[in-house]
């Protein structure tokens, strides 16, 4: 059984704190087979991971978390940024034109300025024949969401939809990588994509992290990484 964490942020995200090599090292250390770096409206970290992956023995699917007019959207298997703030269906169709596919992250979750897709938005996509082919998954377990009820709602919504149900960490700090993991038959990125397309994936959930701890840890790491960025920019 392969293990994948498809929702990880790095310093290429405005809110991430981990470097790409650190993420790859950690993924290998905890036994993940496939990961995706999905920075907010930024793909450079993901492409860097794709390039470095063979050195770390982990497979990488290129990804991005796109800000759409209706909330966040994960897109995979694309290697360029898709314009932000567009209507959801337009965004999904663009991802499709680029040969990619999408997963709805932390549906219905709110808090801390986070904007998530509503059940209504997701259902509207699924009624659009073209867009429905591209939106193939829903993240029904997000290990680090601040909105504690959202996993429960996402699970209920997901159970009624013909979509792959994924579990992810949405890690913004190194320590939370792998707290939510999608299981699949096989172990390669190709096996994972195949399993997502047929919906044949399982979930491995670690205990949700305490929000206060995540925020504290994030703040500590963020201040550190801000210094690193300043040093690198100098
Ligand atoms: Zn995210």
Cα torsion at 4, 7, 12, 18 (round to 10°)?
-60
- Ligand 1 ion: residues within 5 Å (CB): 65, 170
pLDDT of residue 49: 97
pLDDT of residue 227: 65
Instruction: Look up residue 87 and give its two tokens.
Output: 């209507």
Q: What is the pLDDT confidence band of residue 17, given thresholds at 50, 70 and 90?
A: confident
Cα 124 to middle of ligand 1, angstroms: 22
Burial of 63: CB neighbours in 10 Å, binned 0-12, 13-18, 19+: buried
Whether pTM > 0.75 for this model: the answer is yes
In 3D space, the residue among 165, 159, 45 whose CA is nearest the CA of residue 104 turns out to be: 165
Other CB atoms within a 10 A radius of the CB of residue 30 amount to 13
Cα 77 to middle of ligand 1, angstroms: 17
Which residue spans within 144-198 are E strands per DSSP? 164-168, 180-184
The answer on pLDDT for 230 being more than 90 is no
Cβ atoms of 122 and 107 within 8 Å: the answer is yes
Q: What is the pLDDT confidence band of residue 222, given thresholds at 50, 70 and 90?
A: low
Q: What mean pLDDT is predicted for residues 37-58?
A: 97
Cα 46 to middle of ligand 1, angstroms: 13
- The number of CA neighbours under 13 Å toward the Cβ of 86 is 14
Cα 7 to middle of ligand 1, angstroms: 6
- Mean of all residue pLDDT scores within the chain: 91
Cα 92 to middle of ligand 1, angstroms: 17
């Amino acid at each position: 059984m392969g293990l994948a964490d498809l929702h990880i942020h790095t310093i290429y995200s405005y809110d991430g704190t981990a470097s790409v090599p650190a993420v790859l090292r950690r993924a290998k250390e905890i036994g993940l087979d496939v990961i995706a770096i999905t920075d907010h409206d930024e793909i450079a970290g993901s492409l860097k991971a794709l390039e470095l992956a063979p050195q770390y023995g982990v497979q990488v699917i290129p990804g991005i978390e796109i800000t759409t007019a209706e909330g966040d959207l994960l897109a995979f298997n694309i290697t360029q940024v898709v314009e932000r703030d567009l209507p959801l269906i337009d965004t999904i169709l663009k991802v499709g034109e680029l040969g990619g596919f999408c997963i709805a992250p932390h549906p219905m979750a709110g808090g801390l300025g986070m904007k998530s897709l509503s059940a209504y938005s997701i259902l509207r996509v699924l009624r659009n024949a073209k867009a429905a082919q591209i939106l193939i998954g829903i993240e029904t377990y997000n290990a680090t969401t601040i909105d504690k009820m959202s996993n429960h709602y996402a699970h209920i919504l997901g159970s009624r939809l013909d979509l792959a149900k994924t579990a992810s960490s949405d890690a913004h700090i190194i320590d939370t990588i792998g707290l939510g993991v999608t299981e699949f038959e096989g172990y390669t990125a190709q096996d994972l994509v195949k399993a997502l397309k047929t919906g044949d994936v399982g979930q491995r959930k670690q205990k949700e992290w305490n929000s206060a701890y995540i925020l504290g840890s994030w703040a500590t790491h963020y201040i550190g990484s801000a210094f690193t960025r300043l040093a690198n920019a100098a």
